[in-house]
């Protein structure tokens, strides 16, 4: 994944039980910019395993040779045959999210990796001593009117790694020997073995673990309305709703709803009551890939409907209704070969126009889109 640990600093995780002091408040209050930055953890951090993460992030084999002799330079490689060096048995160490965030991991490998001192300096300067915001501290809800946190779930995502010495010179001195994945509430290694740990209710979006994606659920209030609906156009028969679900702060919300194995859903967590004048929503899209989610027609439809709802003077609620999703454009109409007619006959009709090359292109809306939008006020 990385040829050196320094190149991965920007991806550092954090523990939800650890925080730094609010240095940015000191900065804006006129205190010294050089104020000491304190990074402290609650007792729960030391009682729990893995810092709230599904598993240890880094498991690394420490070589028996210490210092720069463990990783010779390019010239040393030319002068000596590394295969003739007798190596002792390595020691395997494991590190949690907190131990990576506070620098414990980098200090532990300092004698074995010539890049560790530079990493520790970079960690202190760019993270621990940041004047405005320490990125290693869990984020609070942004102080804006509306917050929509949208991400994909239920895909195979990396959550932990096993490293070992490669026997090559720096910067290729470490290799990944195994990877831990989260998938559908379980942990598996790259070799296919089940791994013990604390998997979440589901998995991430192939790039970001569910632990990080779902952090914004902590911004929801004590009572949350949850709706699960199919991603595709639907008539509302498969929509599930739970109102005023009690939410414990720092705890995940897992709705008691059923899933059809053949259907991809969107699960909406919405709160418009806990902070007067402000709304918070979390949308989870099944099988939505991290890189492709912004190109998802389903997501674009939902965002567009919510924006249209927000600016409409006759809107009756804070969030657009999820009761049904019908065609809104001619492109949403298609031919149903099983029934030998246009699908969604309530909204679509067969109307040929010159240039249509297949039946689906001749399926068009019966009424203008502007009239259909009034169903979503």
Q: Is the pLDDT of residue 374 over 60?
A: yes
Secondary structure of the chain as H, E, C letters:
CCCCHHHHHHHCCCCCCEEECCHHHHHHCCCCCCCCCCEEECHHHHHCCHHHCCCCCEEEEECCCCHHHHCCCHHHHHHCCHHHCCCCCCEEEEECHHHHHCCHHHHHCCCCCCCHHHHHHHHHHHHHCCCCCCCCCCCCCCCCCEEEEEEEECCCEEEEEEEEECCCCCCCCEEEEEEEEEECCEEEECCCCECCCCCCCCCCCCCCCHHHHHHHHHHCCCEEEEEEEECCCECCCCCEEEEEEECCCCCCCCCCCCCCCCCCEEEEEEECCCCCCCEEEEEEEECCCCCCHHHCHHHHHHHHHHHHHHHCCCCCCCCCCCCCECCCCHHHCCEECCCCEECCCCCEEECCCCCCCCHHHHEEECCCHHHHHHHHC
- The predicted-structure confidence for 65-110, as pLDDT tens digits, reads as follows 654 455 444 334 334 344 444 455 778 899 988 888 888 999 999 8
Asked whether the CA dihedral 300, 304, 305, 307 is positive or negative, the reply is positive
Per-domain residue ranges of the chain: 5-138+159-197, 140-155+204-322, 326-377
Q: Is the pLDDT of residue 251 over 70?
A: yes
How many angstroms separate the CA atoms of 41 and 9, rounded?
A: 21
Note the pLDDT of residue 78. Answer: 38
136, 101 Cβ separation under 8 angstroms: yes
Q: Is the pLDDT of residue 64 over 80?
A: no
Note the pLDDT of residue 73. Answer: 43
Which tokens in the block code for residue 87? Answer: 């190596």
Q: Of the candidates 148, 302, 146, 158, which has an alpha carbon nearest to the alpha carbon of residue 216? A: 148
Q: Is the pLDDT of residue 27 over 50?
A: no
Rounded to an integer, the average pLDDT of 19-41 is 52
Note the pLDDT of residue 49. Answer: 79
Note the pLDDT of residue 301. Answer: 93
- Please name the residue that has the structure tokens 């007798």: 86
Q: Is 93 left (phi over 0), alpha (psi -120 to 50) or beta?
A: beta
Give the Å distances, CA to CA, from 82 to 68, 71, 76, 175.
14, 10, 9, 17
Q: Is the pLDDT of residue 116 over 90?
A: no
- The contacts of residue 361 (CB under 8 Å, 6+ apart) are none
How many angstroms separate the CA atoms of 377 and 375, rounded?
A: 6
Q: Give the residue with greater pLDDT, 139 vs 35.
A: 139
Note the pLDDT of residue 155. Answer: 95
Report percent pLDDT > 70 for the chain. 83
pLDDT-wise least confident of 48-57, 274-283, 316-325: 48-57
Q: Is the pLDDT of residue 3 over 60?
A: no
- The contacts of residue 272 (CB under 8 Å, 6+ apart) are 278, 279, 280, 318, 319
Q: Is the pLDDT of residue 289 over 90?
A: yes
Average pLDDT, the chain: 83
Q: Is the pLDDT of residue 220 over 90?
A: yes
- The contacts of residue 227 (CB under 8 Å, 6+ apart) are 239, 240, 241, 242, 267, 268, 270, 322
Q: Give me the count of residues in the chain.
A: 377
0.85 cut: is pTM over it?
A: no
How many angstroms separate the CA atoms of 363 and 365, rounded?
A: 7
135, 19 Cβ separation under 8 angstroms: no
Q: 22 falls in which pLDDT band (50, 70, 90)?
A: low
Q: Is the pLDDT of residue 196 over 70?
A: yes
Note the pLDDT of residue 37. Answer: 53
Count of other CB atoms within 10 angstroms of residue 300: 11
37, 31 Cβ separation under 8 angstroms: no
Note the pLDDT of residue 79. Answer: 44
């Amino acid at each position: 994944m990385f040829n050196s640990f320094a190149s991965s600093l920007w991806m550092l995780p954090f523990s939800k039980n650890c925080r730094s002091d609010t240095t940015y408040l000191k900065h804006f209050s006129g205190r010294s910019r050089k104020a000491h930055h304190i990074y402290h953890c609650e007792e729960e951090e030391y009682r729990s395993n893995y810092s709230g993460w599904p598993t240890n992030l880094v498991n690394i084999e420490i070589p028996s040779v210490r210092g720069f002799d463990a990783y010779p330079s390019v010239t040393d490689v030319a002068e000596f045959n590394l295969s003739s060096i007798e190596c002792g048995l390595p020691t395997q160490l494991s590190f949690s999210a907190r131990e990576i965030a506070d620098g414990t991991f980098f200090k532990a490998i300092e004698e074995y990796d010539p890049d560790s001192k530079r990493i520790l300096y970079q960690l202190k300067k760019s993270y621990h001593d940041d004047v405005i915001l320490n990125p290693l501290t869990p984020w609070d809800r942004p102080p804006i009117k509306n917050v929509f946190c949208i991400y994909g779930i239920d895909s195979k995502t990396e959550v932990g790694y096993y490293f070992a010495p490669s026997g090559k010179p720096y910067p290729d001195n470490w290799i990944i020997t195994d990877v831990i994945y989260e998938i559908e509430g379980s942990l598996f290694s790259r070799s296919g073995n089940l791994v013990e740990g604390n998997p979440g209710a589901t998995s991430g979006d192939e790039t970001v673990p569910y632990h990080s994606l779902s952090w914004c659920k902590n911004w929801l209030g004590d009572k949350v309305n949850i709706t699960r609906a199919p991603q595709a156009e639907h008539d509302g028969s498969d929509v599930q709703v739970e109102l005023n679900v009690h939410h414990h702060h720092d705890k995940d919300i897992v709705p008691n709803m059923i899933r059809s194995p053949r259907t991809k859903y969107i699960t909406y967590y919405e709160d418009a009551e806990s902070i007067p004048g402000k709304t918070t929503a979390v949308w989870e899209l099944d099988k939505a890939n991290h890189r492709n989610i912004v190109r998802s027609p389903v997501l674009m439809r939902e965002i567009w409907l919510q924006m249209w709802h927000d600016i409409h003077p006759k809107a009756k609620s804070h969030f657009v209704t999820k009761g049904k999703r019908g065609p809104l454009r001619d492109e949403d109409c298609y031919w149903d070969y099983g029934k030998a007619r246009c699908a969604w006959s309530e909204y679509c009709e067969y109307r040929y126009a010159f240039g249509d090359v297949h039946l689906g292109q001749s399926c068009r809306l019966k009424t203008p889109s502007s009239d259909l939008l009034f169903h979503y006020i």
